[in-house]
Chain A
Amino acid sequence: GENVEQHPSTLSVQEGDSAVIKCTYSDSASNYFPWYKQELGKRPQLIIDIRSNVGEKKDQRIAVTLNKTAKHFSLHITETQPEDSAVYFCAATPRGANTGFQKLVFGTGTRLLVSP
């Protein structure tokens, strides 16, 4: 089945710096890749996603890139702020026979700490 690896597990940056989190997936048929932000004690919040027919997507300070050939996708956060501090999860939706939709396989998470 699908396997998603995420790196790094922790990331410390200074306010204003950029942060990059990388994920690789194993199922070449996966076609949907969301990113979630989870603050302590809160629910995972969808912050951006990308579909397999798109190479890059931006939303203000956040961008996601997808390389289908290499089977990896990355989250880029520019001009980081202390409120960006949280755990970030990548995920992939495998698309195989009889699996249907809506199954997310998550990476192990990256704890991002933005220092003022």
Chain B
Amino acid sequence: KAGVTQTPRYLIKTRGQQVTLSCSPISGHRSVSWYQQTPGQGLQFLFEYFSETQRNKGNFPGRFSGRQFSNSRSEMNVSTLELGDSALYLCASSLGTSVQTYEQYFGPGTRLTVT
């Protein structure tokens, strides 16, 4: 079974621009979560989608948004980029239906650099 994939793997953007990142979960997984990883703040939860609905949201500004499609693929968007948004953005997928299926499997991440 193929793992979680993310595109693109690397991005360089300028302050003020917007960016869209994509995540394809493991086949059969309906939950997709997004995390931001930085050296200073570690791994921080952004949001989680299940069956096209946002179930959970972390403490990030409204510039960070996401969505999930009927095939469980998910996108996240960051508008009006700031230098501090430079990070590795990771998505994780899971079955997401009960505590017995909580295991989250991560994709390789998208390295975003804002200049």
Contacts and interface: CB of A to CB of B under 8 A. Distances in A.
B99 A43 contact: no
Contact of A102 (B104, B106, B108): B104
B56 A106 contact: no
Interface in B13-50: 31, 33, 35, 42-45, 48, 50
B43 A44 contact: yes
Contact of A108 (B42, B50, B92): B42
A93 B33 CA distance: 13
B90 interface: yes
Contacts of A105: 45
Nearest to B49: A102
16 contacts: A31-B99, A32-B102, A34-B104, A43-B107, A46-B103, A49-B102, A51-B100, A51-B102, A100-B55, A101-B48, A102-B50, A102-B94, A102-B104, A103-B33, A104-B33, A104-B43
A45 interface: yes
Contacts of A46: 103-106
Contact of B42 (A99, A102, A106): A106
A49 B48 CA distance: 20
A88 interface: no
Nearest to B97: A101
A103 B99 CA distance: 12
A73 interface: no
